[in-house]
Structure 1
Amino acid sequence: MKTYDIEVQRLKSARHDKGVIELGVDALVLPRQARDEGQPTSSVRLPVEHARTLLILLKQQIAELDKLQPRSRRSGRA
């Protein structure tokens, strides 16, 4: 499995369609060197201001998705 270091440089957009949230970003993607520390994983790095923006965008998109759910399905979430 190939692993990557992904550095988000700019958040451009967020939208949802058919239960999938799609984020538009400018990102730097570099292959990560293999390590002997168990399972290989990719990592995403983003500045704090982008992380806060991402959180706000995700909350907005999830709220819009929740509006589309019938009330009986919204109340049972954990």
Structure 2
Amino acid sequence: MKIHNIEVSKFKAASNTLNGLVMFKVDALIAEKQPLEGIEPSSVISMTEQNARVLMALLKSQLAEFDAKKPKSRHGRHG
């Protein structure tokens, strides 16, 4: 497995698919990363606070779209 440093410069758009994936268009700088000895190799995604707030808003919007597509729940009705 290759590992990377991924620095998000800008979120451009978000969408979701019928099979439950949320997809983001981003401008990002991506560089291969060497694993640190003794630490499980993982890719790292970094972003500014402003971009984190944009991501949160986009996620909320996409989750609302998923919820709108689901049939109405019948919570509280047993039997």
Q: C-alpha displacement at 1:52, in angstroms?
A: 0.3
Give the number of equivalent residue pairs.
74
Matched, 1:36 2:42: no
Instruction: Give the partner amino acid of 2:2.
Output: K
Q: Which has the larger radius of gyration?
A: 2
Q: C-alpha displacement at 1:69, in angstroms?
A: 0.6
Q: C-alpha displacement at 1:29, in angstroms?
A: 0.3
Corresponding position of 1:15? 15
Aligned residue for 2:35, secondary structure, equals coil
Distance 1:13 1:72 in 2: 29
Q: C-alpha displacement at 1:65, in angstroms?
A: 0.6
TM-score, scaled relative to structure 1: 0.87
Corresponding position of 2:4? 4
Segments of structure 1 that go 5 or more residues without pairing to the other structure are: none
Question: More helix by proportion, 1 or 2?
Answer: 1
TM-score, scaled relative to structure 2: 0.86
Say which is worse superposed, 10-19 or 32-41, in terms of deviation.
32-41
Q: CA RMSD in A?
A: 1.3
